[in-house]
A = this chain, B = another copy of it.
Amino acid sequence: VAVVGPGRADAAETELAESVGRALAARGAVLVCGGLGGVMEAACRGASGSGGTTVGILPGLDRAQANPHVQVAIPTGLGEARNALVVRAADALIAIAGEWGTLSEIAFAMKTGKPVVGLGTWELLRAGRPVEGIERAGGAEDAVERALAAARSA
């Protein structure tokens, strides 16, 4: 399961991301992310601290760019194009808050038919009407449960 979200996060987003990481580890799911700070780092801290496995797919060429809770760091040198690889490496996406990079990951996942669960993330309209697709979760546990269920049935 990929956890995506911005490289800077406020206290509430950090707490949420860390809880998502813990819940993923408790379920035995591997956490894949972009490997940097903010939401990514908090999720890795939560997962790694609970005995889970964390993978960081980095934009740059330097493994040292990874946050300290990434166990397997993959420096790609692809820049933001690595967002497509984060999505491809996962069976489902949990999007927390989110800036433009997060939006690109949501779009890639939807385009390629992967389930997306949102926690306070982007809302999307076309022609003034909400667009279906992102499943909204009520909290960290709920998000992980929905993502794993969706990944299994996908």
Residues of A bordering B, CB below 8 Å:
30, 53, 55, 57, 61, 72, 74-81, 83-85, 88-89, 98-101, 103-104, 106-108, 110-112, 120-128, 131
Would you call the interface of chain A mostly helix, strand, loop, or mixed? mixed
Q: Specify which chain B residues have a CB less than 8 angstroms from the CB of A53 in the assembled complex.
A: 72
Contacts of A84 in B (CB 8 A): 77-81, 83-84
Asked if B88 and A75 sit within 8 Å, CB to CB, the answer is yes
Pairwise interchain contact B123-A124, C-beta atoms closer than 8 A: yes
Q: Using A104-B107, A124-B103, A126-B122 as known contacts, say yes or no to A57 and B81 having CB atoms under 8 A apart.
A: no
Interface pair B125/A123, CB less than 8 Å apart = yes
| Residue contact B98 to A126, C-beta cutoff 8 Å | yes
| A105, chain B: closest CB distance, angstroms | 8
What are 13 A-B contacts defined by CB distance under 8 Å?
A30-B72, A74-B89, A76-B85, A77-B85, A78-B85, A80-B84, A80-B111, A81-B81, A100-B107, A103-B124, A104-B104, A104-B107, A123-B125
Lowest 3 CB-CB distances: which A-B pairs, in order? A104-B107, A81-B84, A100-B111
**Contact flag A124-B122 (CB < 8 Å), given A100-B111, A104-B104:** yes
